[in-house]
């Protein structure tokens, strides 16, 4: 977006305030926090200048708000259910999709020449950084309300997520066994992204890759890979007896 380039060139704080208010529905108090939150390491290498530290903070804040939301929404569900639901709501692909939908991709400052970044999760990471910026700028209570209003309610469709089987791996394994298919979840790669170790898991069916999951731990990556696999195979049917 031209305004963003113009802002960094001319320090047009008024334009930046207006665009942030339009996208996020709030008026920044400390504008520098949002500049940092929108600055990827590929453009600003210094830890204090890019969004990695804010991403770390925002990840923790977002996770706590979602955990609180689920705890209150499901007073009789056990820890396993709540943990699985939280994973579905804040996984890397989900956050990346939400970030693109709300327009963060357009105003994130990153190296557009590097084609690999366009297909990565940097926009979801930026969303977490923005949550960290809001937390430092507005405090926890306002951030809590903002997350529910702008992320959870309009984008994290809890009722739909609840209908997805808790143990997707078992669903796939059962389907593969019934249909005489060879199924495996293979660790394809480990690399560092945003200063953290990223795991890439492939769902393999008869020796072919049918889905890929990425996460900052193997469990999250496997959950994402399994979910994508069952979607691709058309196995996400709703069991009306549940």
Catalytic site positions: 59, 128
Q: How far apart are CA 137 and CA 139, in angstroms?
A: 6
Question: Residue 102: which of 28, 169, 26, 43 has the closest Cα?
Answer: 26
- Classify strands 208-215 and 196-205 as parallel, antiparallel or unpaired: antiparallel
Cβ partners under 8 Å of residue 222, min gap 6: 169, 185, 201, 213, 215
DSSP 39: B
SS3 label, residue 51: coil
Alpha helical stretches, state H, 41-167: 52-73, 79-90, 92-102, 104-107, 115-118, 122-138, 140-147, 153-155, 158-163
Question: Residue 196: which of 113, 131, 133, 125 has the closest Cα?
Answer: 125
Per-residue CA distances from 211 to 66, 97, 214, 229 (Å) = 26, 17, 10, 5
Are 108 and 38 a contacting pair, CB within 8 Å? yes
Are 53 and 74 a contacting pair, CB within 8 Å? no
Element (H, E) at 111: none
């Amino acid at each position: 977006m031209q305004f963003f380039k113009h802002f960094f060139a001319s320090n047009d704080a008024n334009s930046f305030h207006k665009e942030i208010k339009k996208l996020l529905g709030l008026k920044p108090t400390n504008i520098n926090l949002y500049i940092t939150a929108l600055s990827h390491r590929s453009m600003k290498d210094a830890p204090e200048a890019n969004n990695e530290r804010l991403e770390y903070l925002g990840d923790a804040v977002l996770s706590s708000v979602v955990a609180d939301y689920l705890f209150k929404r499901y007073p009789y569900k056990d820890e396993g259910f709540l943990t699985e639901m939280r994973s579905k709501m804040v996984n890397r692909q989900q956050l990346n999709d939400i970030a693109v939908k709300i327009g963060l991709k357009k105003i994130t400052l990153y190296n557009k020449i590097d084609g690999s970044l366009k297909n990565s999760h940097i926009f979801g990471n930026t969303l977490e950084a923005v949550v960290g910026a809001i937390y430092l700028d507005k405090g926890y209570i306002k951030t809590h309300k903002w997350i529910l209003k702008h992320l959870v309610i309009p984008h994290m469709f809890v009722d739909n997520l609840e209908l997805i089987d808790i143990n997707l791996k078992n669903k796939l394994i059962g389907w593969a066994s019934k249909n005489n298919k060879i199924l495996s979840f293979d660790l394809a790669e480990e690399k560092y992204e945003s200063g953290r170790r990223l795991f890439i898991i492939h769902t393999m069916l008869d020796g072919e890759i049918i889905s890929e999951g990425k996460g900052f731990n193997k469990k999250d990556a496997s959950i994402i890979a399994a979910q994508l696999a069952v979607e691709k195979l058309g196995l996400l049917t709703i069991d009306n007896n549940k």
